[in-house]
Amino acid sequence: MTPALELNGITKRFGALTANDNVTLSLAQGEILALLGENGAGKTTLMNILFGHYAADQGTVRVFGQDLPPGQPRAAIDAGVGMVHQHFTLAGNLTVLDNVMLGSESLLSLRSARAAARQKLLQIAERFGLPVSPDARVNQLSVGERQRVEILKALYRDARILILDEPTAVLARPEAQRLFETLREMTREGLSLIFISHKLHEVMAASDRVAVLRAGQLVAERETSRTTPDELAELMVGRKVARPTRQDHQIGSPVVIANKVRVEDKGETHLDEVSFTVREGEVLGIVGVSGNGQAALGALLSGLVTPTSGSLTLAGQDLTPLGPRGMIRAGAARVPEDRHAEGAVGELAVWENAVLERLRTPAFSSHGFVRKATCKSYTADLIERFDIRGATPDTRTRLLSGGNMQKLILGRCLSTGPKFVLANQPTRGLDEGAIAAVHAELLDARAKGAAILLISEELEEAVALSDRIQAIVKGRLSDPVAAEDADARKLGLMMAGVWEEDADAA
């Protein structure tokens, strides 16, 4: 049988960078192929070539035995290739039906044509088990529903090969599970799928075959049933990576104490009587399904919001009136949830971001003037100490990869020997190598006696790093459990809010 798709010797260069180096890959009909690789390995470039978004410098793309003309998305669509981008390409103020029709049919088409389109959309939705309401505005849909619309858009154009770029990046775990069931369903209907990922457990759970890209080259292809996560991790990174593990040590006295903290905004309660204690040399993990108050907790501990009631102290000092600068001065280090939006100013140089929090201290300025030379040499040390690759003090920060930007942010706040560290989703979107580095830095701070509050949606991470774990559900915190007693089942129940019923029963 002809393969659904053949990539033959694809090479693509951007200036000095070779994004894809002679990649040859095929996809059988009805197969789910996972394309695995670290950030920057060339996965997205390869898929963009396949989809006609880029033209390859060398090599050919064949779809069902037919050569595709390079650089023409329209030809790829006509040949039955559909792409679901990581960042959705939907018009938020239009309806689902409008979005699906967009690009394939005129929005001014006659009523009868719209009716036919609606009919077709509903049929597809039914056939593949992707329920949607055609008249809902995309703005009002959840992220998972938007992705469904994105997939339907491709199916509506009669896609027989579907490419999904990091489809689970924006999904909570149950949604991701549902997505993979849908994908399996689609292969039964004869579709062939490629999904791009750097998450090993997903690849193991959902694919038939795995192709591993590293630095633009296809380094391995494996049957999923005949490989292990460890082997894939090693193939992907090119060396053995092991996440560091927590060493037992003496935990000291309480550093940060929150007592019945309430945060309300415009009549909405974001944090409801939250109490916790973080002690010297301890990591307290806060787990939970996304959107349960993590953002408010992060903002509270960054000094961005003041509680409506309750108390929050660091080594006895009241933190609530301090604001971000006061928190920093009091010895708090904060790693924000979104490094691009909050962590760093992308357009500034690395050195400027490195000193941004402490620009007004005598170390970095005198009489209102920035001590540039001192700042730069400090930054050079930071780059070396925290292994920030691809950076000099004068590099523009936005040119750093996600992992290196995160190391810069960690370096900025950990180099001062803080008493307290807030790490809010510190490894979101990072690849294996960078995750290991971030974990090592956090554990190093723990060993030096910092009290660390880790907010994470990755259970493996929370369990590996934390001494104790609390779950956050609808702005409320569960009682803490020791990490040793926290198995997946128990944490799952906690994240579902079951501890409250326990309390009622007792």
Partner 1 sequence: MRLERRAHVPLHLALTAPLAAVAVALCLAGGLIAAAGVNPLSAYVEMLTGALGSRRSVTEMLTRATPLILTGLAAAVAFRARLWNIGGEGQFFIGALVTAWIGHALAVPGPIGIPILMAAGMAAGALLLAVPAYFRLRFSVDEVVTTLLLNFIVILFVGMMVEGPLRDPMAFGWPSSVPVDGDFRLPDLVPRTRLHIGFLFALAAATIVWVILARTVFGAETRAAGLNAQAATFAGISLPRTLMGVALLSGALAGLAGAVEVLGVTAAVTTTMSPGFGYAGIVVAMLAALHPAGVVAAAIFVATVFVGADAMSRATGVPSFIADVIVAMCLLTMLVALMVTTYRVRR
Give the binding site for partner 1 (CB under 8 A).
Answer: 55, 71, 302-304, 323-328, 334, 336, 341-348, 352, 356-357, 359-360, 365, 368-370, 372, 396, 399
Residue 344 or 382 having the CB closest to partner 1: 344
Residue 267 or 368 having the CB closest to partner 1: 368
CB of 305 to partner 1, least distance (A): 12
C-alpha 238/C-alpha 230 separation (Å) is 12
CB of 152 to partner 1, least distance (A): 26
Residue 204 or 363 having the CB closest to partner 1: 363
Residue 165 or 202 having the CB closest to partner 1: 165
Contacts of range 497-504, beta carbons closer than 8 Å, 24 or more positions apart: 497/471, 497/473, 499/471, 500/476
Residue 249 or 389 having the CB closest to partner 1: 389
CB of 57 to partner 1, least distance (A): 12
The secondary structure of 110-164 as a DSSP string is -HHHHHHHHHHHHHHHHHHT----TTSBGGGS-HHHHHHHHHHHHHHTT-SEEEE
Backbone φ and ψ of 68, nearest 5° = -90, 135
Residue 354 or 442 having the CB closest to partner 1: 354
CB of 453 to partner 1, least distance (A): 16
Q: Which residues contact 239 (CB under 8 A, 6 or more apart)?
A: none
Is 397 within 8 Å of 374 (Cβ atoms)? no
CB of 215 to partner 1, least distance (A): 19
The secondary structure of 3-51 as a DSSP string is -SEEEEEEEEEETTEEEEEEEEEEE-TT-EEEEE--TTSSHHHHHHHHT
CB of 346 to partner 1, least distance (A): 7
Residue 388 or 436 having the CB closest to partner 1: 388
Give me the amino acid identity at 166.
E
Residue 187 or 365 having the CB closest to partner 1: 365
**The two structure tokens encoding residue 49:** 């070539």
Q: How far is CA 417 from CA 254, 289, 347, 420, in A?
A: 17, 31, 27, 9
C-alpha 416/C-alpha 326 separation (Å) is 15
CB of 372 to partner 1, least distance (A): 8
CB of 366 to partner 1, least distance (A): 10
**The two structure tokens encoding residue 486:** 């926290």
